[in-house]
Structure 1
Amino acid sequence: MLAKKCFFRLLILCVIPVISSTAQNNQNEIKGVVLSAKDSIPLIGVSVYFDGTSIGVSTDQKGRFELNFEAGINSPMVISYVGYEPVIVDNYATYKGLVPVIYLHEKPEELEAVYLEDDPWTRKKKLAVFRREFLGRTEATIHCKIKNEEVLKLRYFPSSQTLIAYADSPLIIENKYLGYKVYYTLQEFEAEFITNLQGLRLTNRVYYEGVCFFNELRKKASKKIIKNRNISYLGSSLHFMRSLAAHNLEENGFKIFYNSWQVPAYKYFEMKKTTNFTKVTLLVDQVSVLYQDFEQSEFMTKDSFFIDTFGNHSPPNVIIFGGHISMSGVSELLPLDYGIH
């Protein structure tokens, strides 16, 4: 029998895949060229990567790129360059290895937004709250730092007790716990709070989404880093999704509970396997997930979702985690290709 949860939190990771019925390209290579939309000049050093992975390259002096990828990946391809609007390509498999010329548009200068209510929080306080809700609340968070916090724009609305954040440039996150430098393009962040009867402010809901890319901090990860990565992976949402799709939840240490009682692992999951995806439908409003008889999470969905061969789930905004998994945050986020190579 499970203990009651003490809080609830919504977490959306950085994957924003779009399901496509087109079969994957067998060549496992994508070529293209990136030009400025203003004058068609080749852009050098543009980042081209698959969202949520460590698979990426930069354009050469002629704006060209060649990107190899693993069969079965379903993450969008992101084209990102400082000072330009990013482009996301989700149907690259249809181009048979050669995508059309990609034009990047310069970011327009934005006027400061006008708000009808005052923001009583200092920037120092807003940054502290943002770090806690975005990076997470685990040991890994201590070793994780946002190197360019100055690009963050934050606003607290007292009437709704909501903190919002956005950034014009990718957040550069140095994660010494997992040995990654993460480039996270934050598209949306919202943290909603409630005040209890004792006057304490509690986190009620957190939502964030964006696209991200992982770089190794060192050429070779140390034994400690490899150990930390394994610890973060076991019991994570990625581990859960891979186990769910592979139909081996129990073998991998996951137990499913409904109304506080343990049930057969797949009793309330309807699974439909296709060539590249597994379609999943949760047949009840909510189940609890217990990993290794210790880490408890809540799992809810708004609709059916898909899991690809990497364990990447989509669409991400239909999945709601509470409890342990939701506490991890970006500080324990691993690339979708982790353990695939």
Structure 2
Amino acid sequence: MKRILLLFLLLTLSNSFSQVVKGRVFDENKQPLPGANIYFDGTTIATISDENGNFTLSYGSKLNSILAISFIGYQTQFLNNFNSDKELIIYLKIATNSLNEVVIKKDRFSRKQKLQLFREQFLGRTATAKKAKILNEDDIYFDYDEATKTLKAYSDKPLLIKNDLLGYKITYELVDFEANFYQLSIESVHVERCFYAGLTRFEEVNSDKKIIKLREECYKGSQLHFFRTIASKSWEKENFRLYVGRLPVNPLQHFLITNDKGNTKVQVKKQTQQLTKSVAIFSVLYNEKLQSKMILETESFYIDKYGINSNIEDIVFSGYMSDQKVGEMLPVNYGIE
């Protein structure tokens, strides 16, 4: 079920929404649910239902994102294909405790060690990320498989993250978290690959000048900034440079950019003499100092207007862009009205 949901989350959407979405939220007995959360994934665009379950969600422009409807104790519903000219009628089902199905095996590592690893790989290890706090860490469960050297994390409740430095309160519905180690370890230095996915709701709680400046610092050189640069073909203007090995290359000769129903389609030129399954491997330099490595295992992907790509499992980063995690995450509508 989680893999199906994950695939659903990774789909590139091409729906054209109007500027207002209206609807009502009920439980299975057709009773209205007041206080339900309605939001576009990864954005600050959100509202709550009133005492009769009614909601109206306004936003300023075309938005390609999943519409999520959630309520504590109920299964979150996700919509990516609906007629916004008609009122949405949403019925939420009572959530079952999926953690009852997870058999937690004993292993040699303590919960404290696993939680520390989770914080580092989920929130990040930069100075900014370390200031972000998960307020309900007790809701996180871990399972470490010593045979495969893999740590998995689960939570039946959304993770509540307080990020004072960036002025956001984040609600993160964790769908998947998996850290693979190249040796039997629980240390970040031994992580070979880490992947996590989920739905994110941002709430702005502060926006003073210092916070706005720090947000811009987090944005510059980030994956969000990078994919927007690919889509806009503005490499020189945005201070990104692309390398194959040690040689600088023209990005437009390696990424063919076309428009596809409002999204940007990117076709990747396959590199020759590759000894791995990768389609292409690049080095990325931002502002002449921040270095990242990009490994593509897909020949094409899509980028929506906000800079979100459709193949996050097939595009792997190391270096600077991989160090930026949830603790430095910005809403995908950051800087775009």
Is TM-score (shorter-chain normalized) higher than 0.5?
yes
Find the counterpart in structure 2 of residue 81 from structure 1.
Answer: 71
Q: What letter corresponds to residue 330 of structure 1 in structure 2?
A: V
Question: For the structure 1 residues 200 and 244, does the alpha-carbon distance in structure 2 shift closer, same or farther, using more than 3 Å as the test?
Answer: closer
- Identity rate, percent: 36
1:293 to 288, 296, 301: 288
Give the C-alpha shift of residue 96 in structure 1.
Answer: 3.1
Does the 8 Å contact 1:34/1:43 carry over to 2? Answer: yes
Find the counterpart in structure 1 of residue 24 from structure 2.
Answer: 33
Does the 8 Å contact 2:153/2:177 carry over to 1? Answer: yes
Does the 8 Å contact 1:194/1:201 carry over to 2? Answer: no
After TM superposition, the structure 1 = structure 2 runs for residues 260-299 of structure 1, keeping only pairs within 5 Å, are 260-284=246-270, 285-299=280-294
Q: Deviations over 1:81-113 (max 9, x none)?
A: 111110110113xx0333531110011244253
Give the C-alpha shift of residue 18 in structure 1.
Answer: 3.0
Structure number with the bigger relative contact order (C-alpha 8 A, sep ≥ 6) is 1
Q: Deviations over 1:22-45 (max 9, x none)?
A: 5x13x31111111001x1100011
Does the 8 Å contact 2:32/2:52 carry over to 1? Answer: yes
Q: Distance in 2 between matches of 1:170 and 1:147?
A: 10
Find the counterpart in structure 1 of residue 95 from structure 2.
Answer: 107
1:204 to 192, 197, 201: 192
Question: For the structure 1 residues 166 and 200, does the alpha-carbon distance in structure 2 shift closer, same or farther, using more than 3 Å as the test?
Answer: closer
Does the 8 Å contact 1:295/1:324 carry over to 2? Answer: yes
Find the counterpart in structure 2 of residue 330 from structure 1.
Answer: 326
Q: What letter corresponds to residue 195 of structure 1 in structure 2?
A: Q
Q: Determine if the alignment matches structure 1 residue 242 to structure 2 residue 232.
A: no
Does the 8 Å contact 2:243/2:282 carry over to 1? Answer: yes
CA RMSD of aligned residues (A): 2.0
Find the counterpart in structure 2 of residue 7 from structure 1.
Answer: none
Q: Distance in 2 between matches of 1:201 and 1:72?
A: 42
Find the counterpart in structure 2 of residue 233 from structure 1.
Answer: 219
Give the C-alpha shift of residue 226 in structure 1.
Answer: 0.6
After TM superposition, the structure 1 = structure 2 runs for residues 60-99 of structure 1, keeping only pairs within 5 Å, are 60-92=50-82, 95-99=83-87
Find the counterpart in structure 1 of residue 107 from structure 2.
Answer: 119
Q: Determine if the alignment matches structure 1 residue 55 to structure 2 residue 48.
A: no
Give the C-alpha shift of residue 312 in structure 1.
Answer: 2.0
Question: For the structure 1 residues 156 and 267, does the alpha-carbon distance in structure 2 shift closer, same or farther, using more than 3 Å as the test?
Answer: same
Find the counterpart in structure 1 of residue 177 from structure 2.
Answer: 189
Give the C-alpha shift of residue 69 in structure 1.
Answer: 2.4
Q: What letter corresponds to residue 205 of structure 1 in structure 2?
A: R
Q: Deviations over 1:133-173 (max 9, x none)?
A: 00011111221000000111111122221110011011000
Q: Distance in 2 between matches of 1:185 and 1:158?
A: 26
Question: For the structure 1 residues 35 and 162, does the alpha-carbon distance in structure 2 shift closer, same or farther, using more than 3 Å as the test?
Answer: same
Q: Distance in 2 between matches of 1:30 and 1:316?
A: 28
Give the SS at the match of 1:314. coil
1:259 to 242, 245, 253: 245
Give the C-alpha shift of residue 313 in structure 1.
Answer: 1.7
Q: What letter corresponds to residue 219 of structure 2 in structure 1?
A: Y
Runs of 4+ with deviation above 4 angstroms = none
Provide structure 1 residue ranges, at least 5 long, that are not aligned to the other structure: 1-12
Does the 8 Å contact 1:42/1:62 carry over to 2? Answer: yes
Q: Deviations over 1:172-219 (max 9, x none)?
A: 0001121101000000000011139xx99611000000000101123x
Does the 8 Å contact 1:16/1:51 carry over to 2? Answer: no
Q: How many residues align?
A: 318
Normalised by the size of structure 2, how large is the TM-score? 0.89
Give the C-alpha shift of residue 283 in structure 1.
Answer: 1.4
Q: Distance in 1 between matches of 2:296 and 2:24?
A: 39
Does the 8 Å contact 2:14/2:263 carry over to 1? Answer: no
Q: Determine if the alignment matches structure 1 residue 305 to structure 2 residue 295.
A: no
Give the SS at the match of 2:313. helix
Question: For the structure 1 residues 230 and 201, does the alpha-carbon distance in structure 2 shift closer, same or farther, using more than 3 Å as the test?
Answer: closer
Give the SS at the match of 1:239. helix
Find the counterpart in structure 2 of residue 10 from structure 1.
Answer: none
Provide structure 2 residue ranges, at least 5 long, that are not aligned to the other structure: 1-5, 271-279
Give the SS at the match of 1:187. strand
Give the C-alpha shift of residue 279 in structure 1.
Answer: 0.1
Q: Determine if the alignment matches structure 1 residue 140 to structure 2 residue 152.
A: no
Find the counterpart in structure 2 of residue 320 from structure 1.
Answer: 316
Q: Distance in 2 between matches of 1:31 and 1:334?
A: 26
Normalised by the size of structure 1, how large is the TM-score? 0.88
Question: For the structure 1 residues 21 and 312, does the alpha-carbon distance in structure 2 shift closer, same or farther, using more than 3 Å as the test?
Answer: closer
Give the C-alpha shift of residue 20 in structure 1.
Answer: 4.3
Does the 8 Å contact 2:225/2:307 carry over to 1? Answer: yes
Give the SS at the match of 2:199. strand
